[in-house]
Structure 1
Amino acid sequence: MSVVRTAVTGVGSYLPPHIVTNEELSKTVDTSDEWIIERTGIRQRHKAADDQPTSDLAVEAALRALADAGKTAADVDLIIVATTTPDNTFPATAAIVQKKLGAPVGIAFDVQAVCSGFVYAMSVADGFVARGHSKCALVIGAEEMTRLMDWEDRTTCVLFGDGAGAFVLEPREGQGTKDDQGLLGFALRCDGSKTDLLYVDGGPSTTGTVGHLRMTGNQVFRHAVVNISEAIVAATEAASIAIPDVDWFVPHQANARIIRGVGERLGLDENRVISTVDLHANTSAASIPLAMDTAIKDGRIKRGDLVVIEAMGGGLTWGACAFRL
């Protein structure tokens, strides 16, 4: 049976040039390189310049993804930006990206599911592309999480960084089987009763301020391992594939311990799990495309490989997506 699949045809990423090492942080925060590495696996993070908004990071990643797909901004008819650190309360950062890219009038909006935002945005884009409403979509995860940090809270400020990653999505004809190129299965979840475990203590209708990130780390860790594992199983089942069939797992890069915990719970081969958290820390919605781009560029992930991406973030939201590149 012939079907239209949403295929990933281009991948790109961008990290602002300013690198903040653990050693640098230890000069202003009560922490140490050893303490951070032992608990998180993070060695450094990137920090955007004061005059570099989230949309600038998104545009750089988008241009690289478009080049990888052999497309230009003139081809783009849909832009979805997954972000929890928008340039402004409104308009959507996607609209600003559209303007900066010089893309034609089309569909542009943001998705806010925090660290799960990129997976959510991929699902939303699939609804447009696979149904014929978009011929060339940009899905971008872009974050400046350092803007939300309380730099006196060593349990959170060491965990996050800034960056952006993007996928170009285009329609491809398939046969409705797991061998098709394109998105094969999703699992998306939210448990709003856990909002107090990971949140920002500000907002337009509450404090009128941006606020700072607050997290109950041990509880988030416990829920992350269980929830992400469940989502991976559900997404692979929806795609009619078995976990051992997956070539590469590209997790949200939150914490090396969470990545290991999920791998152990599901019996994943650690050599098939992409981990880049040591290089860019937790970049929220940007971390999956950043890790994916790294693994494609270094030759690990190749065209035709079966990939599963997953994430969990504030909400609590979580989800997974299985696709063939």
Structure 2
Amino acid sequence: MDRILERAGSSLLERRMFTKFHGLRDSPTLAAGEPMEGLLVGAARDALAGRGAQVILYGHSQSVQDFACGPGFAQRLRGSLGLPEAQVYGISQINCVSVLRAMELARRYHFRSTARTGERVLVLGGDQGSVADAARIVPRVTVAGDAAAAVVVHTPVGDDLPRYRYLAGGALRDGRFHRSLRMTTKELTLFSQSCVGHLSTALREAAAGAGIRLSDIDWFMPDLSSALFWRNFCRETGIAPERICLDLLPEQGHNNGVDALAALQHADHSGRLHAGDRVALVALGPGAYFQVVIVEVEPAAGPEGNGHR
């Protein structure tokens, strides 16, 4: 992390701020010549667990990525996954909420009038933040890395049982900050001051949709951009810090839209989650966009259902 900031011209004081206050230490970076597509395909295969999917929704924060600039990305993806007939759609222009928004769209797909039993939607997410050092740095906030994650959204059929049950979602956008990363210093300051309140509103909307209170949520799988933000969030909302799963922040940092899925998988694999736990997946980003998805851990684990790389 320090080398990335130094190469981009950050001062020693600013670099220390990223470590001390934001809690950021490392940022995953692909080796020279290592393809981002490989991460995406690997995460997708883990999530599919040998089963198929009718639709692939690829959520990404960067509007244009090197591997997608040339023709054939969708065809290569379908070929690598053995899904020649799958429909592939990109979900973008909404920054770091793209992956959780794709999950909401996947759920809507299952409730369309022509839905068929057994249909599965692969939600894939990931960006190569390391394309350029300057582009991966959000001033005074975070540094983006290279990572991919995937989850299959489906209804229970036979032995194809989901690990998590969708309860509800919530979303919010504040158009005052439409300039995104081109915001002025004054706008950035106001954006930072508004984030906790906006996220709390989205969380309350999701909790109300699930028929629960905010206090009934057992775990929060956060956007991993800054420990400072989550300290402020806990102080202003009264939510206990130990309910925010920040374990991955120092070693992995912020990876655009896949943070919440990465935190969820890590918490599950480390034995933190139990049947009946209610978990809020959280994403926020410049724009300003906020997205929350609340799920419940199912007692009977089927195929793992999500993959992260």
TM-score for the superposition, normalised by structure 2: 0.79
Q: Offset at 1:241? A: 0.8
Q: Name which of structure 1's ranges 233-242 and 150-159 shifts more when overlaid on structure 2.
A: 150-159
Report the secondary structure of 1:311's partner residue: strand
Q: AA paired with 2:10?
A: D
Residue 144, structure 1, aligned to residue 148, structure 2: no
Map of 1:1-325 to 2, 5 A cutoff?
Answer: 21-22=1-2, 24-25=3-4, 28=7, 29-32=9-12, 34-66=16-48, 71-72=49-50, 74-85=51-62, 86=65, 87-89=67-69, 96-112=76-92, 113-131=94-112, 132=115, 135-150=119-134, 155=139, 159-172=143-156, 182-198=165-181, 217-275=188-246, 276-325=248-297
CA positional deviation for 1:143: 1.1
**Ranges in structure 2 where 5+ consecutive residues have no aligned partner:** 158-162, 298-309
Question: How far apart are residue 125 of structure 1 and its match?
Answer: 0.5
Q: Are 1:235 and 1:320, in contact at CA under 8 Å, matched by a contact in 2?
A: yes
**Percent of paired sites with the same residue:** 21
User: What CA distance in whole angstroms lies between the structure 1 residues aligned with 2:75 and 2:103?
Assistant: 18
Q: Which runs of 5+ in 1 are unaligned?
A: 1-20, 174-179, 201-213
Shift of 1:116: 0.8
Amino acid of the structure 1 residue aligned with 2:105: V
Once structures 1 and 2 are overlaid, which stretch shifts more, 24-33 or 313-322? 24-33
Q: CA deviation at 1:130?
A: 4.1
Partner-residue secondary structure (3-state), 1:56: helix
Distance in structure 2 (CA, Å) of the matches to 1:224 and 1:148: 27
**Aligned-residue CA RMSD in angstroms?**
3.0
Q: What SS is found at the alignment partner of 2:276?
A: coil
Taking structure 1 as the reference length, the TM-score comes to 0.76
CA distance in 1, matches of 2:21, 2:151: 31
Per-residue deviation at 1:303? 4.2
Question: Greater share of strand residues, 1 or 2?
Answer: 1
d(CA) in 2 for partners of 1:281 and 1:121?
22
Aligned residue type for 1:140: L
Paired amino acid for 1:183: Y
Q: Count the aligned residue pairs.
A: 280
Quote how far apart the aligned CAs of 1:138 are.
1.4
Counterpart contact for 2:177–2:191, Cα < 8 Å: no
CA distance in 1, matches of 2:186, 2:34: 26
CA deviations over 1:42-73 (Å, ceiling 9, x no partner): 0110112343343322112122223xxxx31x
Q: CA deviation at 1:244?
A: 1.6
Query: Structure 1: how far apart are the matches of 2:109 and 2:135?
Result: 40
Amino acid across the alignment from 2:282: E
Supply the AA of the counterpart residue of 1:117: S
What amino acid is the match of 2:24? I
